[in-house]
């Protein structure tokens, strides 16, 4: 993997870049649609690509349990399995296992957990997390980290930080495949000084990219922004910076402002399935009776297939009637909204006017 910085905004930390992977190039800042179980929910890979997506994320926890990494490897790897020929980033499973709560137990060696599908017991450690992702053939792999809940005491955060660093070293040492990049993850809870220490320890090991993990896990927005602002600029400049699992359109703009290059989030796809549609103005709750006879598109400024061809009245009808096509059309719109936002962001940085863009964007959203 190669990362090239193409431009830097002079008014803030925002930067424009290119990530070169064995499966193609990615323009950053980038949003990665989530394909949890080897499918971006409701869409074909061609539809995802057609929306402007250059890279997608898949979840190691889910694919390890079902259908299993060996099966995927036997069938030619994840790209071939799911028919996505562009780059794929896989997470390590750390966050999903943390989310299992009582169903997991973490020791220095690794994590024992029970499958949410059938209750079967499994063990995941830094070495196997890398091995599984190598079997997938992911272009970008993530280190296994230890997430903590919010709120967590400083002590807990410090402990998880230390373990995450030791695990990162074990991941690095077990990494074999040269065609696959490996990213380190910074933990540290909502304690900016711990985040700083995290950056130092993880960067000292040396990775192809660096991620901020454990934000957007329930903390107030101010703490997210404070820790983001404290951490992002410390990450090595010559490597991609990835804010994991974040977030709202506003979060993306803020993240870029502070120098983040990569994002992923289920928000656009999950909201779509719940009938919540993004626009530059208010969010559209498509089932609302007010859209019953509304012949206009979700967003008249949107260039997506859904907005070009369907009325709110039709989308409401599909949603209320429980049609699968509602999920398809809504997902197309929301993903396009996110990906188009990233296009606008990249254009603003290219024009060295991202600070203005961000201020305007935030003003619009709070009106």
Question: Would you tell me which residues interact with a second copy (CB under 8 A)?
Answer: 37-39, 41-44, 66-67, 71, 74-76, 81-83, 292-293, 295, 305, 309-311, 313-314, 316-318, 320-321, 323-325, 327-329
Nearer to a second copy, 12 or 276 (CB): 276
CA distance 47 to 36: 16
CA distance 296 to 311: 5
What is the nearest approach in angstroms of a second copy to the Cβ of residue 24?
18
What is the nearest approach in angstroms of a second copy to the Cβ of residue 75?
5
**DSSP characters over 227-281:** HHHHHGGGS-TTS-EEETT---HHHHHHHHHTT--EEE-SHHHHHHHTTEE--SS
Catalytic residue (one of 9, 91, 208, 299): 91
What is the nearest approach in angstroms of a second copy to the Cβ of residue 338?
19
Joined together, the tokens standing for residue 108 give: 């220095």
Whole-number Cα distances in Å, 187 to 48, 49, 79, 220, 305 = 31, 32, 29, 17, 39
**Is residue 91 among the annotated active site residues?**
yes
Under DSSP, is residue 306 helix (H, G, I), strand (E, B) or coil?
helix
What is the nearest approach in angstroms of a second copy to the Cβ of residue 5?
36
What is the nearest approach in angstroms of a second copy to the Cβ of residue 313?
6
Nearer to a second copy, 328 or 342 (CB): 328
**Is residue 287 within a helix (H) or strand (E), and if so which, with residue range?**
none
The side-by-side arrangement of strands in the sheet containing 88-90 is: 30-32, 262-264, 241-243, 209-212, 181-186, 140-142, 88-90, 56-58
Catalytic residue (one of 9, 139, 264, 299): 264
Nearer to a second copy, 82 or 256 (CB): 82
Sign of the alpha-carbon torsion through 308, 310, 313, 316:
negative
CA distance 164 to 144: 7
Joined together, the tokens standing for residue 127 give: 């070495």
Q: Angle at the Cα of 16 (from 21 to 26), degrees rounded to 5?
A: 25
Nearer to a second copy, 48 or 186 (CB): 48
What is the nearest approach in angstroms of a second copy to the Cβ of residue 320?
7
Nearer to a second copy, 294 or 352 (CB): 294
Spell out the residues 6+ positions from residue 74 whose beta carbon is closer than 8 angstroms to its own.
none
Joined together, the tokens standing for residue 321 give: 């009637």
Nearer to a second copy, 222 or 295 (CB): 295
Annotated active-site positions, please?
Answer: 91, 264
């Amino acid at each position: 993997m190669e990362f090239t910085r193409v431009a830097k905004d002079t008014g803030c930390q925002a930067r424009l870049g290119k990530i070169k992977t064995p499966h193609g190039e990615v323009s950053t800042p980038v949003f990665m649609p989530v394909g949890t179980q080897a499918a971006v929910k409701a869409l074909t890979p061609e539809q995802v690509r057609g929306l402007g997506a250059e890279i997608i994320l898949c979840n190691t926890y889910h694919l390890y349990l079902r259908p299993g990494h060996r099966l995927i490897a036997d069938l030619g790897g994840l790209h071939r399995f799911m028919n996505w020929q562009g780059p794929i980033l896989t997470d390590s499973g750390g966050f999903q296992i943390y989310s299992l709560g009582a169903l997991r137990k973490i020791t220095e060696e690794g994590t024992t957990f029970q499958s949410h599908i059938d209750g079967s017991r499994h063990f995941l450690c830094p070495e196997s997390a890398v091995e599984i992702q190598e079997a997938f053939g992911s272009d970008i792999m993530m280190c296994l980290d230890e997430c903590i809940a919010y709120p967590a005491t400083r002590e807990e955060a410090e402990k998880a930080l230390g373990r995450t660093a030791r695990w990162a070293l074990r991941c690095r040492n077990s990494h074999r495949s040269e065609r696959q990049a490996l990213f380190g993850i910074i933990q540290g809870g909502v304690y900016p000084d711990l985040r700083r220490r995290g950056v130092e320890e993880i960067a000292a090991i040396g990775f192809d990219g660096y991620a901020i993990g454990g934000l957007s896990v329930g903390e107030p927005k101010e703490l997210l922004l404070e820790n983001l602002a404290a951490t992002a600029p410390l990450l090595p400049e010559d490597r991609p910076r990835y804010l994991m699992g974040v977030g709202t359109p506003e979060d993306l703009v803020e993240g870029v402002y502070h120098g983040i290059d990569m994002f992923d989030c289920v928000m656009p796809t999950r909201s779509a399935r719940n009938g919540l549609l993004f626009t530059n103005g208010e969010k559209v709750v498509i089932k609302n009776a007010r859209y019953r006879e509304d012949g206009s598109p979700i967003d008249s400024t949107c260039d997506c297939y859904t907005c070009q061809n369907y009325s709110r009245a039709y989308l409401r009808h599909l949603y209320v009637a429980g049609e699968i096509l509602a999920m398809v059309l809504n997902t197309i719109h929301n993903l396009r909204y996110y990906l188009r936002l990233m296009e606008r962001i990249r254009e603003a940085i290219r024009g060295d006017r991202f600070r203005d863009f961000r201020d305007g964007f935030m003003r619009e959203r709070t009106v």
